[in-house]
Structure formats: structure tokens, C-alpha cells
Chains A and B, each alone.
Chain A
């Protein structure tokens, strides 16, 4: 039996009057990769952003229900969103390096926590870049602007940056959608390695990608969770008609 890292209970999200997530009940297993699939606009990004409260930053958003991280509700008033986001990191669809050097990008999350000791930062930066498989490519030019990297490298830098603060969970929103096939496969093998010590949740439009790397797959449709099961099952033998149609490419 796998341990559940994140559990959502009757999670509802509105943007103004638009009810974009409806009664979502989802269990994310620890130490595995969970893929979230579904047609455009069904609420995948919103669901991901409700797991680290980034959704609260969207004007007009309202969240109801519970999201338990290790059994504790992250929407509790005594939960500090900044602390939460250190434990639940996020990688975005478009690589978004900060306008500073490669080194400073990776050190950023530690520095804002008040860690300024050079030796500690050096070590953390190297370790994070190493884990993201980027160290050998950038170790000679840590002082260069992050914008000088290729798009694929930038996305791995964003992963390294998220790893540097030591999260338990990493949320990835279509991390490969702007990348070429080679960069994509590098990130896929990177994610597969990372699941040894992290819980990963990845939104993807690429069903083949979900199939290749995800242990579990959740299908979201018009703001509702249709079903979630081991990836094999979703693709080979889905319980719901809707899922079957989506997998077969009949819509979305």
C-alpha cells in the first residue's frame, strides 16, 4: 500500500462566477509520478495551483474544501504560504528564469530564507544543478545570465531552482510543452530519477508522455475528476466511457 502525500477533499475553485474545479477528490501517492490529463481549459493548471496555494494569487479566485499535505490542511490559517511553497515546489509551462545569473537563480530560494553563507550556497547550488542534470553543462559559467541558456536548459534550471529549497513535492505544469524532443526526453528521465526522493505531479497534454513516465494518471474533465488509476489501467482499461474517448483522441 502506498502512502498518500496529498489528499484533496471536495475541492472547489471559482474564478469570479466561473466554477472551474468541482468537488475534486484526489489522492497523490508519495514517491511516485502522478500525471493529470484532460482537455484544454478543464482546470489542470488550477488544480495544480491549488496544491501550493498559488491559486490564491489569481485575482477573483476563491477556494473551498480541503487539501491535506501529510494530513495537514494547507488552507489552515496558521499555514504560512511561503513555507508551504518551499515544501511544494512548482515548475511552469514556459521556462521562467529570474533576470539574474544561473547561480543566483538556484540560490534565490535559499537567500530569501536568509541563508547567505557562501559555502552553504555553493554546495546547495552544485547539488541542485547536479540533481537536475545541468551541472556539467553550466559549471564553467555560473555567473552568466540565465537567459543565455537554451530553452531546454532553462527548464532544467527551473527544476534545479525548485529542488534547491528541498521540497517534498514538485508540481510541474506541462514542463515540456515548449521543448524539443531531446530536451523533453532528458527531462523525462530526470523526473523518473527524482521520484526516488520526491512526490511528483505533472500536468501534460502529451498522452504518450503520461504513459511513459507516470505511475498514476488522473483524468480531469470540465472541472471534475473523472477517474484516477494506475497509468496502465487508465490507458488499457479505463472504467469510464469519457476517459476511453479522450484516450482514443475523440476530443480535446
Chain B
């Protein structure tokens, strides 16, 4: 018994090394095989010529469109919940729902998006359906982080503004939102992170295997990095050199890491600065 107790610190620190080891293994594997194939030419030439250009642009289009929809909606919802809605069982319910939605598997979002946007609303397999589906995935995260950021703004700031004869809305737009902005921005980026590696949801709503070239309207399908990787692995296994698959994986990996680090840095900086 005593022996185990003495060993506990060593065991726990050894255990904590496992995830670190896993990350190092994954990173080195992808880098080792992918670095050779990853080049500016690879990124900027069409998939017809062995590159991933359409998938890169498609991914950017999907992210930015979904963010443009989800960010304002999410922030407005958070403002309503924090500043206006009276505390009641209904707001409590909404908040629980938002919390749980953040954990729903993405394939269910895909199914939901396919049913509602692609079929019911008739947007088909398209960029637009992808935007709306991804926006639904991002929303809970943005709402939650924005709520947190708004709640961190001290009551005394609201009081100061109201006591000077500002209306409630003016107080929110001129004092509360600017004060909460770094926290809200972190939330938006975390929302983007949530969908950054997303495959299932867009697989069902916005991508076609046969899609070539860039979408010409929001109602056209797109290719994304994740989807294209999936196709290369599953459908064209054997046809594609391993180097290309790993180069694509590395690109995706770097993208996700960059997004997550941005969120982390923002959050860290935000915490470090005492502003009131």
C-alpha cells in the first residue's frame, strides 16, 4: 500500500505523458510523410492537376460564410439571454439546450441540415446548405462563450452608463459589447475550430464527389479539404500516391492548429489584461 502511494506521483506523471506522446507521434507521422508533398504549387494548382486549390477555396468559403451567419446571430442571442430575458424556467431551458447542442455528434447536424436545408427548403447539396448547417453547429459555442464574456462585464459599467442617461441598448452597444469583444472573438474562433475539421456535416449537405471547379453561386456544391481527403482515402484508395494524402492531411492539420492557437492566444491575452 505504502509503496503504491509513493509511486502515485510517478504513475500520474507518466500517464499524463501519454497524450503528449500521442500528439508528438501524430505530428511527426503526418509531417514526415506529408512535408515532401506540401508546397505552394500543391496548394495553388487545381485538383485536376494533382493539387488541392478548389478544396482550399471551398473550405475558406464554407468557414467564412458559416461564420458570417453564426457570429451575429449567436452574439444577438447571447445579448438577449444575458441582458434582456428575465430569469425563468424558459431561459434556463434554452441555456441547457444550447449546452447540450454543443456536444451533439456532427453527423446528426449533417442529417438535420440535409433534411431541412437540402430537401425541405430545396437548397439541394450546396454551399448554402453547408453554410447553414455549419452555422447551426457553431451557434451553441458562440452563444455560450458570448454569454460568458457578457457576464464578465461588471455591473458597475452598466450602472455608470445608465446613470449618465444612456438607454439600455446604447449601454449594450457602446459599453458592454466593446468590453466583451475579446471574449466574444475567442468564442467565434472556437466556433470556427468546432467546424474546422468537419467532414460529416458537409459530406451530407454541400459536397459532390464529381464537383469540379469552384462554385459559381451559393446553390452550387463545393469541395472542402476534409471531404476531398475522405474521397482520396475511401473512394480513390490505391489511385492516389500516399504523399498527396499526407500532404493534404498536413495542410488540414496546420489549419486546425493555427485556428486553435489563435483562440488560445486571444483567451490568454484577454485573461492577462485587467481592464477594470
A residues sitting closer than 8 Å to B (CB atoms) are: 52, 54, 57, 59, 82-83, 85-86, 89-90, 92, 94, 96-100, 108-109, 112-113, 147, 158, 161-162, 165
Contact = CB atoms under 8 A, between A and B. Distances in A.
Given A96-B156, A99-B275, A99-B276, A112 B170 contact: yes
Contacts of B167: 82, 112
A143 B105 CA distance: 49
Contacts of B163: 52, 54, 85, 89-90, 92, 162
Interface in B210-245: none
A158 B156 CA distance: 12
Interface stretch (B66-74, B132-140, B171-179): B171-179
B184 to A, nearest CB: 14
Contact of A158 (B154, B160, B170, B175): B160
Nearest to B275: A99
A113 B170 CA distance: 10
Nearest to B167: A82
Interface string B35-78: 00000000000000000000000000000000000000000000
B162 A98 contact: no
Nearest to A99: B179
B160 A92 contact: yes
A147 to B, nearest CB: 7
B175 A99 contact: yes
Contacts of A162: 163-164
B94 interface: no
| Centre residue among B161, B163, B170, B175 by max chain A CB count within 10 A | B163
Given A57-B159, A99-B276, A162-B163, 20 more contacts: A59-B87, A82-B167, A85-B163, A85-B165, A86-B165, A89-B164, A96-B156, A96-B157, A96-B159, A97-B160, A98-B157, A98-B160, A99-B175, A100-B178, A108-B164, A108-B174, A112-B164, A112-B166, A147-B276, A158-B160
Contacts of A83: 165
Contacts of A158: 160
Contact of A99 (B162, B165, B178): B178
A166 to B, nearest CB: 10
Contacts of A109: 164-166
Given A98-B161, A99-B175, A99-B276, A92 B166 contact: no
Nearest to B176: A99
Given A96-B156, A99-B179, A112-B170, A85 B275 contact: no
Contacts of A161: 160, 164
A99 B170 CA distance: 15
Contacts of B156: 92, 94, 96
A160 to B, nearest CB: 12
20 contacts: A54-B159, A85-B163, A85-B164, A89-B164, A92-B156, A92-B163, A96-B157, A96-B159, A96-B160, A97-B160, A98-B160, A98-B161, A108-B161, A109-B164, A109-B166, A112-B165, A112-B167, A112-B174, A147-B275, A161-B164
Nearest to B276: A99
Nearest to B174: A112
A165 B165 contact: yes
Contacts of A113: 165
A90 B178 CA distance: 23
A40 to B, nearest CB: 19
Which of B154, B160, B170, B174 has the most chain A CB atoms closer than 10 A to its own CB? B160
A116 to B, nearest CB: 13
Contacts of B174: 108, 112
Given A99-B178, A99-B179, A147-B276, A82 B160 contact: no
Contacts of A100: 178
Contacts of A108: 161, 164, 166, 174
B162 A57 contact: yes
A147 B276 CA distance: 7
Contacts of B166: 82, 108-109, 112
Contacts of A92: 156, 159-160, 163
Interface-central residue, A54, A86, A94, A108, by most chain B CB under 10 Å? A108
Contacts of A97: 160, 276
B160 A54 contact: no
A99 B159 contact: no
Contacts of B178: 99-100
A13 B106 CA distance: 52
Interface string B7-48: 000000000000000000000000000000000000000000
